[in-house]
Structure 1
Amino acid sequence: MQLAVTATETAAAPYAQALAEELRLEYLGVADSRNISSVAYVLECGGKLQLQATGRKAPGPILVDFVSGVAAHRRKFGGGKGQQIAKAVGMKGSFYPRVLDATAGLGRDAFVLASLGCEVQMLERNPVVHALLNDGVKRLQAAATSDPDLASIAARLKLLPRVDSAAAWLSQQPGESLPVIYLDPMFPSREKSAKVKKEMVAFHQLVGSDEDADQLMAPAIAACYYRTVVKRPRLAPWLAELKPNLALEGKSGRFDIYTRHGVPG
């Protein structure tokens, strides 16, 4: 994917230049993505960091937003601990397990778990996605200074330093040292809606499908204490062809659960 870095305003230029150097991408200066034709996508640095397709008819940007929009709506009206993801990680009563999201992506599930009361660590290997996550966490922390509800969530949500391989990182952890490990490897999307095509095609092109996802299973199960949870499309095969101890199915997806020790009642 052709990708460069731009600034939306002069004040953002120093950060944009530094980010371009860090990611080893071309810096195009202060520019409007609608007027760019030399690359297909840009990382726009301004009030927010966002991945934006270039050209006049480009769809909207991809960014990490933990403060407003979908994240805010789900935090307020998503169903609380009755959500399947809460049940999948073993949340019940006053038990809120510490979770490592080893394939954090845009951090949506990690934020949900943190908003429900879990301490969540996010691990991400793609450098561009990690930069988007880092920007989203910083804006959450800024908003948290004036919002007590967000402050408690921000205190529970942490982005770990970027790694080249989540499987290698997990392999280096002591056995049974992480209460719950959550995996949501990228799977080729079968969704045909125009919304997915317009809003997420850039992200899918950037990340691709995780061809090495099966390698996550053995080190994850070895490193977890309570369980490893794998989020999958409803009809997708088991990760690493390993049958789960139990599964929670929804309309379009499911959570495969690999248990080691029972969660407290």
Structure 2
Amino acid sequence: MLPPLFCSSSERHDHAQQLAAHYGFVLLDALPEQGHALVLDAHRLALCSLGKGAPGPVFVDFVGGAADWRRKHGGGRGQGVAKACGLKGGSTPHVLDATAGLGRDAFVLASLGCQVDMLERSPVAASLLADGLLRAQDSDEVAAIASRMRLHHGMASELMQAWSADRPEVIYLDPMFPETKTKSALSKKEMQTFQQVVGADADADALLLPARALATGRVVVKRPRHAPLLAGAKPSYSLEGDSVRFDIYLG
């Protein structure tokens, strides 16, 4: 069930109506006391947990915060996602991120020069990502990076099978992994909110076959380090980090 949308800025009410119509949100006149809601204020769209002791809002920020730090100090082409996607030397492949989520890895790849098409089926995630892109396009510092990112809202498997534009060299899959009950696996409270609302990608296995059919170079699957292989398919090779690994399927 989708969270409702509440607009706290009278100047952005028309935009709120457009969001509600496009993504299927119910637009409320007042903010609920409990649960979750999307809140559009004068500056941004955010997913908010409501009630006493609720964690902070979830929103996409490509201009400041963690994205800004990672862009400036994250290691550039030495990062795992860059290596896995084949960014060697001056190579900047066209990447299709089929499970875009909040766009964090897509932004890293775009900041390194890649053209990135992002597929996202969740109306909540897609609306937050679209809002972040709009604000990034208004920033002199990252507008050029945002111009290399294109969002497509819909089911990834269907969009990949119907793809009619230039075929991407790399398809990147980072399906949301079901939460475990172990304390070490718990993410930050804000991301727990996002996962509760959006849900895990239970059908992630079905993405590998159409991805391999569409990519001209490789498919990269990001997984928790000890997670099972996607669709049980053995990769050509893997790159392991401290907490995640990248399974690479060539050809």
TM-score, length of structure 2 as denominator length:
0.92
Q: Which residue does the alignment assign to 2:12? A: 12
The number of residue pairs the alignment matches comes to 249
The aligned runs of 1:163-242 (5 Å cut-off) are 163=154, 165-173=155-163, 177-190=167-180, 192=183, 196=187, 198-242=189-233
Alpha carbons of structure 1 residues 218 and 194: separation in structure 2 relative to 1, 3 Å: closer
Indicate the residue corresponding to 2:36 in structure 1: 41
Amino acid at match of 2:6: T
Offset, 1:23: 3.3
Aligned partners of 1:107 and 1:242: how far apart in 2? Answer: 26
Letter in 2 for 1:44: V
Pairwise CA distance, 1:73:
0.3
Q: Which runs of 4+ in 1 moved over 6 A?
A: none
CA–CA distance in 2 between the matches of 1:175 and 1:137?
21
Q: Secondary structure at the match of 2:228?
A: coil
Asked if 1:258 corresponds to 2:249, the answer is: yes
> C-alpha deviations, 1:95-128, integer Å up to 9, x for none?
1111000100000000011111111111111111
Q: Which amino acid aligns with 2:18?
A: A
Structure 1 gaps of 5+ residues are 261-265
CA RMSD of aligned residues (A): 2.1
The answer (yes or no) to whether the contact 1:233–1:252 under 8 Å persists in 2 is: yes
**Other-structure match for 1:153:** 145
Task: Compute the displacement of 1:26 (Å).
Answer: 2.8
Question: Could you state the TM-score of these two structures normalised by the residue count of structure 1?
Answer: 0.88
- Local SS of the residue matching 1:121: strand
Structure 1 residues 79 and 72 mapped into 2: Cα distance closer, same or farther (>3 Å)? Answer: same
Partners of 2:158 and 2:185 in 1: CA distance: 37
8 Å CA contact 1:120–1:156 kept in 2: the answer is yes
User: 1:176 touches 1:225 (CA, 8 Å); kept in 2?
Assistant: no
What is the percent sequence identity of the aligned residues? Answer: 50
Structure 2: distance between partners of 1:171 and 1:2: 26
Match in the other structure for 1:72: 68
SS at match of 2:91: coil
2: CA distance between counterparts of 1:250 and 1:108?
17
Equivalent position amino acid for 1:23 in 2 = Y
Asked if residue 114 in structure 1 is aligned to residue 115 in structure 2, the reply is no
Question: Structure 1 pair 18/108, CA: closer, same or farther in 2 (3 Å)?
Answer: same
Q: For 1:125-144, list aligned pairs within 5 A.
A: 125-143=121-139
Which deviates more, 248-257 or 207-216? 207-216
